[in-house]
Amino acid sequence: MADYKAPLKDIRFVMNEVFGVEQLWASLAGTKDTIDIETADAVLEEAGKITASLIAPLSREGDEEGCKWNEGVVTTPTGYKDAYKTFVEGGWSGLTGNPEFEGMGMPKMVGAQYEEMLYASDISFGLYVCLTSGASLAIDAHGTEELKQKYLPKMYSGEWAGAMDLTEPHAGTDLGMIRTKAVDNGDGSYAVTGTKIFITGGEQDLSENIIHLVLAKLPDAPAGPKGISLFLVPRNSVDENNVVGENNNVTCGSIEHKMGIKASATCVMNFDGAQGWLVGELNQGLNAMFTMMNYERLSVGIQGLGAAERSYQNAVAYALDRIQGRAATGPAQPEKAADPLIVHPDIRRMLMTMRAYNEGGRAFSSYVATYLDTAKYSDNAEEKKHASTMVALLTPIAKAYLTDRSLDCCIAGQQVFGGHGFIREWGQEQLVRDTRITQIYEGTNGIQSLDLMGRKIVANGGKFYELFASEVSSFIEAEADNADVAEFVAPLSAALERLSDVTEYVINSFADDRNAVGAASVEYLELFGLTAYAYMWTRMVKAAAPKVGSDEFYASKIKTAKFFFSRLLPKTVSLAESVRSGSEDMMSLAADQF
Amino acid sequence: MADYKAPLKDIRFVMNEVFGVEQLWASLAGTKDTIDIETADAVLEEAGKITASLIAPLSREGDEEGCKWNEGVVTTPTGYKDAYKTFVEGGWSGLTGNPEFEGMGMPKMVGAQYEEMLYASDISFGLYVCLTSGASLAIDAHGTEELKQKYLPKMYSGEWAGAMDLTEPHAGTDLGMIRTKAVDNGDGSYAVTGTKIFITGGEQDLSENIIHLVLAKLPDAPAGPKGISLFLVPRNSVDENNVVGENNNVTCGSIEHKMGIKASATCVMNFDGAQGWLVGELNQGLNAMFTMMNYERLSVGIQGLGAAERSYQNAVAYALDRIQGRAATGPAQPEKAADPLIVHPDIRRMLMTMRAYNEGGRAFSSYVATYLDTAKYSDNAEEKKHASTMVALLTPIAKAYLTDRSLDCCIAGQQVFGGHGFIREWGQEQLVRDTRITQIYEGTNGIQSLDLMGRKIVANGGKFYELFASEVSSFIEAEADNADVAEFVAPLSAALERLSDVTEYVINSFADDRNAVGAASVEYLELFGLTAYAYMWTRMVKAAAPKVGSDEFYASKIKTAKFFFSRLLPKTVSLAESVRSGSEDMMSLAADQF
């Protein structure tokens, strides 16, 4: 496997030249006095170094060794414990944490770039850190002042880790069916009892304590999703001086044997009257969870981006090094026995596809981050609301579209290696296995699509969609006389029109057909994702075009944009046609005929 | 994992009702007196039983245990040795073998169906048997009478297995660079020396001997692919009485640790002056190898089909059993806590997609088999030539399109399981890992696409293509008044026209642009595959429509056809547009800018 190189040049291009974060941060009440571009840049520079030098080298062996379970004790692979200690001592666990409780207070825009580097180095390792950030976020947003004081500083420092306990054996997507119970102890705490599965980092040997956020129901709670509450349950109890004590009846029953992310412990967790504290309101647990979900889901999208970037870098190194066959236009290296793979158009097709999706994905996740940050840091109510709405609309796309393209890119990167791509030591097949989970957890991509098509589009009659469409339309109008982007604006405009038409089609169909949403959703999300990437690519061209003479980087940006538009964007046509076929042919077969 | 059920009803439909094998076999000189439908059917019935009961149960544990290497000795997983013995004693290794040398002489049409069942049960196990069939085929086609007499009966009986030794560390796709040497011993034999990698079944503990077919070069051979010869090299020498003796300086240096097919030993083979015999003419080794390749490549396509069928069956069982959420149209099982997954449109979309591709793939591989059989068994020179040309044209599609769709289907089948799809014990993730190799070995799918677009289309100015186009056009014309197929004939006709236009576009582009073939190839193959499946689906509708009232099976066939046409075929539009974007945007980036 090639050494990982953090793509800092492209990250800076996106942040500074495409999205102008300096101006953005200066304009937001919550960042203008606290965040400056130099600090952020130094943080990212350091993130690039530590992920590449400390974490990336663990990934291959971590996959081979995997996690071990023995009588409730989980052991992570060799090297993880030391690396975790060094890493969290750098403060990375609290990078975007609340400064009131000793977090570093960096905006999501910085967090998103850091996460890409972390996940590109090793998804398994990254999960231990990022689950803690996610759990902290929920506690910060919904916990009492007491809970925050007690837990957040220790979690930001990484001394204690976090875990999210949602799924049960019979209840995954359908959380309304969970059976874990919480009984009021009468002292402000609850006794939590039940079994949770698929708990990432539910147990490990990295941190002194693990703080579980557990979905459970009170005995008298309403049935279904409206009776679910969220509880903070530390694995080990913590006394008033924050000294970690005995096990709080929280045990790991086993770990799963999985396709990938083998160095990440996926745990069955048993709660046997464990003492817990309510986070947020009673029966509002799903709401409390979902506050954090927008961050987590973007984060999972970025996991996919990280794996895809790693796959691209490895494939490029191999394509430049491996000689096989001759260029169709005549020998490129006549002095050698063969030419490097990179002379072959089909190898180029795979590399350019990966590049176009990855750079588009990096821009798109950063774009979502600008709205997450605006929603969080603006003091203008209207701006805040607009940004929150955009986050709600774009988040399922960020999660599903980035991870679906990640699988494509990891498969393509593996294919570049030919037979060697199937061999474990080269690392390409691990990326396929690792990234595959990103399409499944944190709400499957099918569920993301339903969330987009149902809740975010059809439920409000397309109002959220109109915000996106009018933003893109305004951009198109504003650039009408910009010769730099002219060749891209026309197809962007056509794609947007296609997306708008299809949006209307589905909204209208739903009036007569309850299955219309589910029938359209996956292809609709892909169509939306492609259109959004076309918008990102046009914005990148706008930023790059004036500087083409100064640095080959900018010329390459334009060339990659051309590839995206000519080769990948045409898929919108067939996706639209597939959506328009409706639900009938999908639903007509009798269940017993399958 | 659900128990595997051989899809015999659909197999019989395809063979008998779509392709009318009884009439076909009666019309061919080589089959009319030897093959009857009853025998063939009994063979397939038995194949369904033995694959499901003997082999399928080995697959999951075989993956966990994998093959072991110790000092040159390779041990297959527990149970493989006994199962192999039972299986080959049933004669399956020689099913399509030459009856002159104790083969069973079944046509490829029967072999193709049997192989689907074998591979659906376990690709790893299937490879040990099918590599022997492939090697036998090359020996039968190109070996001397003496070699055939000596080796074929033992290989057909499975007592001895076969292996194909092509790849070397520095030479995969580009076999012209191989370094393995063969020196004339002056006694009719050669001393073969060199190292081969990625040798499936190169060593194992199943058979008494292993017969390697090795590509090597004589010291004075012309450079490049025209200096390659093919040698038969037994692992252990065989005396004049066919008694197996000492090791013939053929040793296994190690086995690969791979993403999938872990129960199949992928070997590094060292030949150290091993005694071998020429197969075919000197320096014509690639030709001899390619004779067999058309069979092998179809066989690899069928591996993909087998895995995809297994994935479909498992996903259906899970979707009927697992309850989660409610139908959009209202509770389907109000008495239960939730409805089965199969009520959800997006689950349907995945199941119907798998079904449409698998049934289309079964028809397509059977269609190619009719041409393979006609080419082999016809005594009419013109018919033979036509069939051989069709085989040449369709084989790369059968290999690449079936395996690419197999990955799609295995990914979809895994996705139906949600988080459980990522867990090894459920078996769905293994199918993804196992089928992934089918896109890589036996010529990567990129190489298949180049073979199609370059050698089979552009090189002859589209003549081969015209044979296919005119067959489909004749069918469309013949069915013009058939109301049963009317709704399918129009889109089939449009897809064919699109494919014909794109074919012409690429042929014309190539005149000015040597990269045009490589730039178009992968999308072109997919466009061709989709169009060919549309033809298959229309032929299936034609066969099924008159019987719709008699059996729900036929009605389901029509419904699945509708889904294929409305949901999947539209992709042809965007594929055509992608191909028309040419090579410029793919090739424009400087190599040092990647």
**What secondary structure letter does DSSP report for A459?**
G
Rounded distance between C-alpha atoms, residue A383 and residue A360, angstroms: 25
Tokens, residue A577: 């046609």
pLDDT at A172: 86
Angle subtended by helix axes B571-579 and A571-579, to nearest 10: 170
pLDDT at B134: 93
Rounded distance between C-alpha atoms, residue A325 and residue A337, angstroms: 8
Q: Which residue in B309, B359, B429, B442 is the catalytic one?
A: B442
**Does residue A1 surpass a pLDDT of 90?**
no
pLDDT at B293: 79
Say which amino acid occupies B540. M
Q: pLDDT tens for residues B406-442?
A: 999 999 999 999 999 999 999 999 999 999 999 999 9
With beta carbons less than 8 A apart as the criterion, state whether B328 and B342 touch. Answer: no
Number of Cβ within a 10 Å radius of residue B389:
18
Q: Average of pLDDT values for B356-384?
A: 97
Tokens, residue A456: 């975010």
Q: Average of pLDDT values for A570-591?
A: 97
Tokens, residue B502: 């794109």
With beta carbons less than 8 A apart as the criterion, state whether A162 and A213 touch. Answer: yes
Three-state secondary-structure class, residue B262: coil
> B462 in the Ramachandran plot: left (φ > 0), alpha (ψ -120 to 50) or beta?
left
**Does residue B291 surpass a pLDDT of 80?**
no
Quickly list DSSP for A410-476.
HHHHHHHTGGGGGBGGGSHHHHHHHHHGGGTSSS-HHHHHHIIIIIIIGGGTTHHHHHHHHHHHHHH
Say which amino acid occupies B439. Q
Chain B residue numbers with beta carbons less than 8 Å from the beta carbon of A172 are 324, 418-419
Residues 6+ apart with CB under 8 A from A584: none
With beta carbons less than 8 A apart as the criterion, state whether A461 and A408 touch. Answer: no
**What secondary structure letter does DSSP report for B77?**
P
Tokens, residue A73: 């004790």
Band the pLDDT of A65: cuts 50, 70, 90.
very high
With beta carbons less than 8 A apart as the criterion, state whether A87 and A55 touch. Answer: yes
Q: Average of pLDDT values for A245-263?
A: 98
pLDDT at B172: 86
**Does residue B279 surpass a pLDDT of 80?**
yes
Q: Residue B210: which of B254, B265, B260 has the closest Cα?
A: B265
Q: pLDDT tens for residues B296-314?
A: 899 999 999 999 999 999 9
With beta carbons less than 8 A apart as the criterion, state whether B568 and B353 touch. Answer: yes
pLDDT at B181: 98
Judge residue A32's burial from the number of C-beta atoms within 10 Å of its C-beta, 0-12 exposed, 13-18 middle, 19 or more buried. Answer: middle
Q: Where in chain A are the domains? A: 444-587
Rounded distance between C-alpha atoms, residue A128 and residue A134, angstroms: 10
- For residue A182, the surrounding DSSP H or E stretch is strand A181-184
User: Which residue in the set A348, A570, A586 is minimally distant from B586, CB to CB?
Assistant: A348
Band the pLDDT of B200: cuts 50, 70, 90.
very high
Q: pLDDT tens for residues B165-188?
A: 999 999 888 888 999 999 999 999
Judge residue A26's burial from the number of C-beta atoms within 10 Å of its C-beta, 0-12 exposed, 13-18 middle, 19 or more buried. Answer: middle
pLDDT at B295: 81
With beta carbons less than 8 A apart as the criterion, state whether A542 and A482 touch. Answer: yes
Residue in chain A nearest B417 by alpha carbon: A440
Q: Is residue B442 flagged as an active site residue?
A: yes
pLDDT at A291: 74
pLDDT at B292: 77
Residue in chain B nearest A340 by alpha carbon: B591
Stated pTM of the model: 0.98
pLDDT at A310: 98
Tokens, residue A472: 């893109």
Residue in chain B nearest A427 by alpha carbon: B259
A593 Cβ under 8 Å from any chain B Cβ:
yes
Rounded distance between C-alpha atoms, residue A153 and residue A136, angstroms: 9
With beta carbons less than 8 A apart as the criterion, state whether B525 and B401 touch. Answer: yes
B 302-331: CB under 8 A from A: 316, 319-320, 323-325, 328-330
With beta carbons less than 8 A apart as the criterion, state whether A149 and A180 touch. Answer: no
Rounded distance between C-alpha atoms, residue B267 and residue A486, angstroms: 55
Residues 6+ apart with CB under 8 A from A215: A165, A166, A175, A178, A180, A228, A229, A230, A231, A285, A286, A289
User: Which residue in the set A324, A587, A591 is minimally distant from B320, CB to CB?
Assistant: A591
* pLDDT over 90 percentage in chain A: 97
- For residue A210, the surrounding DSSP H or E stretch is strand A209-217
Chain B residue numbers with beta carbons less than 8 Å from the beta carbon of A347 are 446
CA distances from B363 to A586, B13, B16, B66, B533 (A): 21, 9, 11, 33, 8
Rounded distance between C-alpha atoms, residue A368 and residue A376, angstroms: 12
Pairing label, strands B209-216, B160-165: parallel
Residue in chain A nearest B259 by alpha carbon: A422
With beta carbons less than 8 A apart as the criterion, state whether B92 and B161 touch. Answer: no
Q: pLDDT tens for residues B230-250?
A: 999 999 999 999 999 999 999
Rounded distance between C-alpha atoms, residue B526 and residue B216, angstroms: 34
Number of Cβ within a 10 Å radius of residue A244:
15
> B338 in the Ramachandran plot: left (φ > 0), alpha (ψ -120 to 50) or beta?
beta
B446/A415 touch (CB, cutoff 8 Å), yes or no: yes
Q: How far is the alpha carbon of B480 from chain A, nearest alpha carbon, in Å?
A: 24
Number of Cβ within a 10 Å radius of residue B364:
27
Residue in chain A nearest B447 by alpha carbon: A346
Most A CBs within 10 Å: which of B256, B257, B349, B351, as the mutation test of the A interface? B349
pLDDT at A419: 96
Q: How many Å separate Cα A210 from the centre of its chain?
A: 22
B581 Cβ under 8 Å from any chain A Cβ:
yes
Q: pLDDT tens for residues B64-83?
A: 999 999 999 999 999 999 99
Q: How many Å separate Cα A417 from the centre of its chain?
A: 26
B422/A588 touch (CB, cutoff 8 Å), yes or no: no
Judge residue B588's burial from the number of C-beta atoms within 10 Å of its C-beta, 0-12 exposed, 13-18 middle, 19 or more buried. Answer: middle
A 127-156: CB under 8 A from B: none
Count of helix runs (H) and strand runs (E) in chain A: 19, 11
Q: How far is the alpha carbon of B13 from chain A, nearest alpha carbon, in Å?
A: 16
Band the pLDDT of B289: cuts 50, 70, 90.
confident
Q: pLDDT tens for residues A136-150?
A: 999 999 999 999 999
Tokens, residue B165: 């030794």
Radius of gyration of chain A (CA): 24
Q: Average of pLDDT values for B86-107?
A: 96
B446/A585 touch (CB, cutoff 8 Å), yes or no: no
Phi, psi of B513 (to 5 degrees): -145, 105
pLDDT at B281: 96
Beta bridge partners of A160: A209
Q: pLDDT tens for residues B23-56?
A: 999 999 999 999 999 999 999 999 999 999 999 9
Question: How many Å from the N-terminal Cα to the C-terminal Cα in chain B?
Answer: 43
Residue in chain A nearest B258 by alpha carbon: A423
B9 Cβ under 8 Å from any chain A Cβ:
no
Rounded distance between C-alpha atoms, residue A249 and residue B132, angstroms: 58
**What secondary structure letter does DSSP report for A208?**
S
A589 Cβ under 8 Å from any chain B Cβ:
yes
Rounded distance between C-alpha atoms, residue B223 and residue B234, angstroms: 27
Q: pLDDT tens for residues A387-432?
A: 999 999 999 999 999 999 999 999 999 999 999 999 999 999 999 9
Three-state secondary-structure class, residue B202: coil
Count of helix runs (H) and strand runs (E) in chain B: 19, 11
User: Which residue in the set A320, A348, A449 is minimally distant from B346, CB to CB?
Assistant: A449
Between chain A and chain B, how many beta carbons pairs sit less than 8 Å apart?
258
B424 Cβ under 8 Å from any chain A Cβ:
yes
Residue at token pair 């110790």: B70
E strands, B153-207, are: 160-165, 181-184, 190-200
* pLDDT over 70 percentage in chain A: 100
Q: Residue B525: which of B441, B578, B450, B585 has the closest Cα?
A: B450
Q: Residue B238: which of B272, B211, B220 has the closest Cα?
A: B211
**Does residue B545 surpass a pLDDT of 90?**
yes
Rounded distance between C-alpha atoms, residue B496 and residue B502, angstroms: 10
Three-state secondary-structure class, residue A65: helix
Q: Which residue in A359, A429, A442, A523 is the catalytic one?
A: A442
pLDDT at B220: 95
**Does residue A42 surpass a pLDDT of 90?**
yes
Q: How many Å separate Cα A120 from the centre of its chain?
A: 12
